[in-house]
Structure 1
Amino acid sequence: MGAGRAAAEHRQWDEQHPWPPRWLRWVPPALVVVTMLLDQVTPQRYFFGALLSASVVLALFTYPPTGVLAVGAAGCVLLAVTQSIEDYVGPMTVVALTVLATVTVLSAALCVVRRRTERRFHRVQAVAEAVQLALLRPLPARIGPLRLAGFYRAADDEALIGGDLYSVRPTPFGVRVIVGDVKGKGIGATRTVATVISSFQEAALLHPSLGEVAERIDLALQLDRESPPSEPMDDGRPAHTPAQAPGPADEVFVTAVLLEFSADARVVRVLDRGHQPLLTVRHGTASVAKGDHSLPLGMSDLLTAPPGTVTHTLDAGDILIAYSDGVTEARDSAGTFYPLRERLQDHCSSSTGPISPNALVTFIEEDVARWAPTLGDDLVAIAFQPAPSGDE
């Protein structure tokens, strides 16, 4: 699930919708044949040899360089032969052959550049996908006694990740989770996502309390704010020193909720740092989980007291849902926000059997897509459920 599934869907879509489409490769030779037929069936005062250059240009997008040269050479030979048979080799024929040969050579050169660019793009795309999947790793169906499922959708269809983030980590203190939303867009948001996730994954293993984990992330964000990464230039030198780097410093903060599940997953401690309230589904009823709202991560210097944690007890079958504001702020055509709790309640009331985390997040994902076909923000939602006693 998560970004891993988004990457798989991107690859599947590319395989189903290749560009250029396969039928386009038949157009250049067909255009050569049609041009020759038009030249034969029309009076001599009509000359269609110039259309052969179009077949070479089309071949540029579908064939390798040798194929482009073959199409151009075939056009030149056919044009010369047909004009010789008609005994009508004149200035127009010479001009057409010269233009066709020139276009063929230039198109073959451009085809070499195109194929090199495509190879470079595919390499960069593969590296970017690997980096993004390293940040937002696919969610397992289960970690110890905890069942979980989730989905992630970036607002940009061409991207695998955006400004939302999540991470699930088994630790000596229990399974720890972070779900958050970076305030900002573009490459700057991705950098902050990397900072938060890397800091969480390290701190979750070392610090015994969620408050200390949050403090470690706060420190990392503060360092990013005071010494932001510089932008590289083409020659490898930075375009800006850290003190000159563009961008307002107050954008480096993250709304997030940190969770810590006990060894049996029946008790969860929640540290809310300015994020959306959790939802619980218990006995077919969806409700908002009580929490202690605090300032976002990266704004610890404004706190008057350390944020407190809230403890919740989960019974068998209970489901806890963490999500980003992209879900609740998705709008329909009339501009109405998506009513997550109400839609969950209607879904749970109409369900006849037990609800699993996977079924629940699948419903949310599909229902949001129906409600708001066009996304204005990134979406993430993860559902957690303690496994029944004795369930292997």
Structure 2
Amino acid sequence: MVLDELTPSRYFFGSLLAASVVLSLFTYPPVGVLAIGAAGCVLLVVTEGLEDYIGPMTIVALTVLATVTVLSASLCVVRRRTESRFRRVQAVAEAVQLALLRPLPTRIGSLRLAGFYRAADDEALIGGDLYSVRPTPFGIRAIVGDVKGKGISATQTVATVISSFQEAALLHPSLSQVAERIDVALQLDRDNPPMEPMGDGRPAYMPGDTPGPADEVFATAVLLEFSEDACAVRILDRGHQPLLAVQHGTASVVETDHSLPLGMGDLLPTPPRTVTHTLAPGDILIAYSDGVTEARDGAGTFYPLRERLQGHCAGRAWPISPTGLVTFLEEDVARWAPTLGDDLVAIAFQPAAPSDED
């Protein structure tokens, strides 16, 4: 309208009012869009009436503005419905994450712990990595692992591993029996893949997922069982990344009996051996996924986990808390590799000193 007032009458800018209506659909509800369109029509008529120039161009502009207003209000309705659906889907995804990957407590009995989890896809809350920690009649048991695949197919395998672990950890006295129970669950998934479509006709796998062949349902994992004072930990390694122990500023690899991943137990000639490792109060045991050690910087160099931990812990006051160590690790990996190619999980365990209080 200002342009109409400042330019000769042969120039007509009333049609630009349609742009304000289109822009309003991104911020206002449908009623607001209709109100802005109606106000534009009134303003156009009043302005042209004051200039005594209501002609064919004005009629065309009013028609265009009214049409754009109706279409924008319709698009606004679609936008709000889509946003509402997205919020519901996001709420469901968050509920699923909390059900599968529950937040870690800072302490369970004599064991202090902390961890972080990042999915490679920024839009996803859950990836192919997993963890679970829970007290049992046989001690505090934990699992940290990485399943085969990505997307929905990986989430299904994560759910199988975690649910089987949480049940078996309470019932079976040995870690080998817990692993055998997970083996059976994964073999059932392998022999009975979810190939049927969903109830509304959509496929079980969404575009972009990588379910892989049915015979590739497996997960690398390390199973841990801490004693009552958390100073001894029994370790069952099923093809996972080596554990690291941080003791008085020194980071070292924990020797374990490396075996086949979970889901391949039927290929093992003998049950894998469980190894016992001793921890002093203040020592930290770190379990992590290969997403940490395979994070790359701009030059393509892998993240040197043990060396970075060694450099961080050397010369610092001891003991270092699990929370402080995990916070450093999460921030350091993010600085090293701003873009992730795989999911990340890292959990730090530390036996509490006898003098510590909850």
**TM-score normalised by length of structure 1:** 0.87
Residue in structure 2 matched with residue 89 of structure 1 by the alignment: 54
Match of 2:156 among 191, 211, 218: 191
Q: Do structure 1's residue 165 and structure 2's residue 130 form an aligned pair?
A: yes
In the alignment, the residues of structure 2 paired with residue 185 and residue 221 of structure 1 have an alpha-carbon distance, to the nearest angstrom, of 16
Residue in structure 1 matched with residue 109 of structure 2 by the alignment: 144
Amino acid at match of 2:174: S
Write out aligned runs for 1:374-385 (5 A). Answer: 374-385=339-350
Amino acid at match of 1:164: D
Aligned residues of 2:133 and 2:140 also touching (Cα < 8 A): yes
Residue in structure 2 matched with residue 215 of structure 1 by the alignment: 180
Residue in structure 2 matched with residue 54 of structure 1 by the alignment: 19
Residue in structure 2 matched with residue 124 of structure 1 by the alignment: 89
Aligned residues of 2:222 and 2:235 also touching (Cα < 8 A): yes
Aligned residues of 2:93 and 2:125 also touching (Cα < 8 A): no
Amino acid at match of 1:351: R
Q: Do structure 1's residue 251 and structure 2's residue 216 form an aligned pair?
A: yes
In the alignment, the residues of structure 2 paired with residue 261 and residue 84 of structure 1 have an alpha-carbon distance, to the nearest angstrom, of 85
- Cα RMSD after superposing both structures: 1.5
In the alignment, the residues of structure 1 paired with residue 318 and residue 139 of structure 2 have an alpha-carbon distance, to the nearest angstrom, of 30
In the alignment, the residues of structure 2 paired with residue 139 and residue 357 of structure 1 have an alpha-carbon distance, to the nearest angstrom, of 12
Greater Cα offset, 154-163 or 252-261: 154-163
Residue in structure 1 matched with residue 352 of structure 2 by the alignment: 387
Residues 237, 159 of structure 1: alpha-carbon distance in 2 compared, 3 angstrom cutoff = closer
Q: Do structure 1's residue 115 and structure 2's residue 80 form an aligned pair?
A: yes
Residue in structure 2 matched with residue 332 of structure 1 by the alignment: 297
Amino acid at match of 1:152: Y
Amino acid at match of 2:139: G
Residue in structure 2 matched with residue 10 of structure 1 by the alignment: none
Structure 2 unaligned regions, length at least 5: 206-210
Write out aligned runs for 1:345-356 (5 A). Answer: 345-356=310-321
Deviation at 1:230, TM superposition (A): 3.7
Amino acid at match of 2:96: V
- After superposing on structure 2, the runs of 4+ consecutive aligned residues of structure 1 that deviate more than 3 Å are 230-234, 236-240
Q: Do structure 1's residue 278 and structure 2's residue 243 form an aligned pair?
A: yes
Residue in structure 1 matched with residue 208 of structure 2 by the alignment: none
Deviation at 1:231, TM superposition (A): 4.8
Aligned length: 352
Amino acid at match of 1:318: D
Write out aligned runs for 1:242-321 (5 A). Answer: 247-321=212-286
Aligned residues of 2:147 and 2:154 also touching (Cα < 8 A): yes
Deviation at 1:125, TM superposition (A): 1.0
Higher helix share: 1
In the alignment, the residues of structure 2 paired with residue 233 and residue 84 of structure 1 have an alpha-carbon distance, to the nearest angstrom, of 60
Deviation at 1:222, TM superposition (A): 0.6
In the alignment, the residues of structure 2 paired with residue 96 and residue 389 of structure 1 have an alpha-carbon distance, to the nearest angstrom, of 81
Q: Do structure 1's residue 371 and structure 2's residue 336 form an aligned pair?
A: yes
In the alignment, the residues of structure 1 paired with residue 257 and residue 241 of structure 2 have an alpha-carbon distance, to the nearest angstrom, of 11
Amino acid at match of 2:63: T
In the alignment, the residues of structure 1 paired with residue 19 and residue 202 of structure 2 have an alpha-carbon distance, to the nearest angstrom, of 44
Residue in structure 2 matched with residue 227 of structure 1 by the alignment: 192
Match of 1:74 among 33, 39, 55: 39
In the alignment, the residues of structure 2 paired with residue 209 and residue 269 of structure 1 have an alpha-carbon distance, to the nearest angstrom, of 10
Deviation at 1:354, TM superposition (A): 2.3
In the alignment, the residues of structure 1 paired with residue 199 and residue 20 of structure 2 have an alpha-carbon distance, to the nearest angstrom, of 37
Residues 139, 63 of structure 1: alpha-carbon distance in 2 compared, 3 angstrom cutoff = same
**TM-score normalised by length of structure 2:** 0.95
Deviation at 1:236, TM superposition (A): 5.6
Deviation at 1:49, TM superposition (A): 1.2
Aligned residues of 2:149 and 2:212 also touching (Cα < 8 A): no
Aligned residues of 2:224 and 2:234 also touching (Cα < 8 A): yes
Residue in structure 2 matched with residue 16 of structure 1 by the alignment: none
Amino acid at match of 1:120: R
